[in-house]
Amino acid sequence: MVDTSNSTVISANLEGYVVTGSQAKQEFDSLMSVVGLEEYFSGEIGVFTDPTYFTNQGTSTQTFGTVSFPVTTYGLNTANEQITYCGVSATITSYTLSVGTPPGTSLLFITYLQFSGTSQGQSEDFSIQLVSITTQS
């Protein structure tokens, strides 16, 4: 929950657990750094859509709350895809990435990301999903 009068994060619901105060703000900032990837890591989205490893599965219009916009989805070229980028090695066993730009903005948002695999010897399995967005005109 965000206080719209000053854009302060009041609380966050994380898998059924409600956190407040500074922890809610930290969780929100962490998530938004992923969702708003292009804002923070200009050009890095290319790593996650590189045709060497990932297939463009097409674009469709999707709705998030009351806002609709085109979203492009990417998947693995092959199962157990081995990637190396900037000294980081990973084996990806399952992957879906969807990205799009909400109307009235220039920010490329990750609307869905699901990743399973091993990176630098650590197993990872996570997903994030944008459920609703509001834009102001």
Nearest to 132 by CA among 111, 113, 101: 111
Q: What is the pLDDT of residue 136?
A: 62
Mean pLDDT in each 10-residue stretch from start to end of the chain (137 residues)?
A: 46 62 65 50 71 95 93 94 82 93 82 87 83 72
Q: What is the pLDDT of residue 39?
A: 46
Max CA separation in the chain (angstroms): 47
Q: What is the pLDDT of residue 101?
A: 87
- The one-letter code for the residue type at 37 is L
How far apart are the C-alpha atoms of 34 and 60, rounded to whole Å? 21
What is the dihedral sign for C-alpha 114, 118, 119, 122? positive
**DSSP-based three-state secondary structure for 34:** helix
Q: What is the pLDDT of residue 4?
A: 41
Q: What DSSP string describes 5-17?
A: TTTEE-EEEETTE
127 contacts 115 by C-beta, under 8 angstroms: yes
Q: What is the pLDDT of residue 44?
A: 65
Domain boundaries, the chain: 1-35, 47-137
